[in-house]
Amino acid sequence: MILAFEIFFSDASGRTIVTPTAVDYEFKLDLTVPKVGLLLVGIGGNNGTTLLGATLANKHNISFENKRGVVKPNYYGSVTQASTIKIGIDKETGNDVYAPFNSIVPFVSPNDLVIDGWDISGVPLDQAMKRAQVLDVTLQKQLHPYLEGKKPMPSIYYPDFIALNQAERANNVYNATASGEVRTDNKWGDVEQIRKDIREFKAKNQLDKVIVLWTANTERYADVLPGVNDTADNLIKSVKESHEEIAPSTVFAVASILEGVPYINGSPQNTFVPGVIHLAEKHNSFLGGDDFKSGQTKVKSVLAQFLVDAGIKPLSIASYNHLGNNDGYNLSSPKQFRSKEISKQSVVDDIIESNSILYNKESGDKVDHCIVIKYLPAVGDDKVAMDEYYSELMLGGHNKISIHNVCEDSLLATPLIIDLVVVAEFLQRVTYKKAGESDDSYEGMYSVLSLLSYWLKAPLLRPGFKPINGLNKQRQALENLLRLLVGLPVNSELRLEERLK
């Protein structure tokens, strides 16, 4: 298998020299699909209970009735479960041929995941599902027996990191005394508790692998401080000292790394401070993040790319959201919103930088971009995104695209959790070596799984690299990796059969 590397130099004179070079790699995929457990931080929230509902409905083939008719369970909205990949061209007809994404190589099925998790709210999961107001009541009734009385594991609550308004939910917290007082002075103890939870979950369910995924409240940003969380060692030391910048999510990440299980961050906060990445590198453990890219940002990463690639210059993008679920309630607090804003802000940056004909000093090198999230309880989980793209056309003309998008927030986000878990698990089974090296030199991928970027608003990158936000590029990467592993060449869309004589 030859993998072409593209390398680029700029010589002393400033001229551009492109030198294609090639490095030979050999890739290997372990074809055995393991028994996988998934631990959710925030399992009692809207995403957590919707994931439980979705996997139960699909596993037990539970249909339900709503006013439009009978609905069969499915995994719509999941790339791995409900999309296809072009695998070639039919020799006879010249037509493209597609196969289900999850048929190309063996993937774990979401139906087979063993799911549990932590939550600061101790409401049993059937009631939590009801509180979420996501699934139809007729489905909820049928799911009830599977969830009745099941409580989330107690979680960690450091009040400083999430909105004050979450305090009343926090009744299932093991770092609290009997009188309800919260302790934040034994963070290493918290790490050990979480590690114990992971180990016990794995043993009890006889799992081959566990993945931990944060789908809990957005935390405020942690300060990145020299000596505190900048290296693996400093980080461990700071946890042991219960430093105030050690967030609950850091505790979960550290515990996961130390247990060697992948940790994925579905919220915008900067859990992955340099010390955490460093720690994962040291332990060859996997990280993925940040922040589920479910609705508005996903569309934006498609439309902005489209416009700029078409030579049209977006001048401003106004992005407004409102939602009424607990995510919105937590984000109504400024520090938590700030984390979200940062996560959503940068999504067009690489797109702008890719086109210096449109964006340059003379004609203006930025897009006016605003992000607003408002908490309007009335709309519940039916998040609304309203966007306006105002662009410049030739000769002073303008184009205005205004979008009103009614998402069902958790129904869009839950399939992303499935994809992140399924692909992260799969990536653990991919190994490679340089061609010619001995077979025992195969090693696993780099700790930061940037191939998960498709599903994430603010892709976590290997330090020093810039994120690619264009959704198509992100999907191309996944497609071409799968093709590579089964011996298909990179998809060029050249279709020479049709274009040559």
Q: Which is nearer to a copy of itself, 226 or 487 (CB)?
A: 487
Nearest distance from residue 79's CB to a copy of itself, in Å? 5
Which residues from 6-65 bind a copy of itself, rule CB under 8 A? 6-9, 16, 18, 20, 22, 25, 53-54, 57, 64-65
SS (H, E, C) 149-162: CCCCEEECCCHHHC
473: phi then psi, degrees, rounded to nearest 5: -65, -40
Q: Which amino acid is at 193?
A: Q
Rounded to whole angstroms, the Cα distance separating 410 from 292 reads 11
Binding mask 115-134 for a copy of itself (x = CB under 8 A): ------------------xx
Nearest distance from residue 322's CB to a copy of itself, in Å? 5
Residues binding a copy of itself: what is the number (CB under 8 A)? Answer: 155
Q: Which is nearer to a copy of itself, 68 or 361 (CB)?
A: 68
Options 39, 348, 411, 422; binder of a copy of itself; rule CB under 8 A: 411
Rounded to whole angstroms, the Cα distance separating 412 from 133 reads 14
Options 1, 60, 96, 159; binder of a copy of itself; rule CB under 8 A: 96
SS (H, E, C) 259-328: HCCCEEECCCCCCCCHHHHHHHHHCCCCEEECCECCCHHHHHHHHHHHHHHCCCEEEEEEEEEEECCHHH
Is the previous residue joined to 290 through a cis bond, with omega within 30 degrees of 0? yes
Nearest distance from residue 443's CB to a copy of itself, in Å? 6
Task: Answer yes or no whether residue 315 interacts with a copy of itself by CB under 8 A.
Answer: yes
Nearest distance from residue 336's CB to a copy of itself, in Å? 17
Which residues from 343-402 bind a copy of itself, rule CB under 8 A? 350, 354-358, 363, 367-368, 370, 372, 374, 376-380, 384, 386, 388, 390, 392-402
Q: 462, exposed or middle or buried, with CB in 10 Å at 0-12, 13-18, 19+?
A: exposed
Nearest distance from residue 176's CB to a copy of itself, in Å? 30
Q: Which residues pair with 397 in a beta bridge?
A: none
Q: Which is nearer to a copy of itself, 255 or 411 (CB)?
A: 411
Among 383, 387, 409, 419, the one annotated catalytic: 383
Q: Is-catalytic flag, 457?
A: yes
Closest among 298, 267, 269, 272 to 285, alpha carbons compared = 272
Q: Is 227 left (phi over 0), alpha (psi -120 to 50) or beta?
A: left
Among 293, 300, 344, 457, the one annotated catalytic: 457
SS (H, E, C) 129-147: HHHHCCCCHHHHHHHHHHH
Options 105, 242, 476, 485; binder of a copy of itself; rule CB under 8 A: 476
Task: Answer yes or no whether residue 297 interacts with a copy of itself by CB under 8 A.
Answer: no
Rounded to whole angstroms, the Cα distance separating 349 from 347 reads 6
Among 187, 293, 300, 340, the one annotated catalytic: 340
Rounded to whole angstroms, the Cα distance separating 257 from 286 reads 8
Nearest distance from residue 206's CB to a copy of itself, in Å? 29
Q: 316, exposed or middle or buried, with CB in 10 Å at 0-12, 13-18, 19+?
A: middle
Binding mask 172-191 for a copy of itself (x = CB under 8 A): --------------------
Closest among 453, 446, 424 to 290, alpha carbons compared = 453
Which residues from 187-226 bind a copy of itself, rule CB under 8 A? none
Name residue, tokens 């994430």: 456
Task: Answer yes or no whether residue 496 interacts with a copy of itself by CB under 8 A.
Answer: yes
Q: Is-catalytic flag, 501?
A: no
Options 32, 91, 145, 179; binder of a copy of itself; rule CB under 8 A: 91
Q: Which is nearer to a copy of itself, 186 or 405 (CB)?
A: 405
Options 37, 44, 48, 73; binder of a copy of itself; rule CB under 8 A: 73
Nearest distance from residue 339's CB to a copy of itself, in Å? 19
Q: Which is nearer to a copy of itself, 99 or 200 (CB)?
A: 99
Residue 147 neighbours by CB under 8 Å, 6+ apart: 49, 52, 56, 124, 125, 126, 129
Catalytic residues, by residue number, are: 291, 340, 383, 457
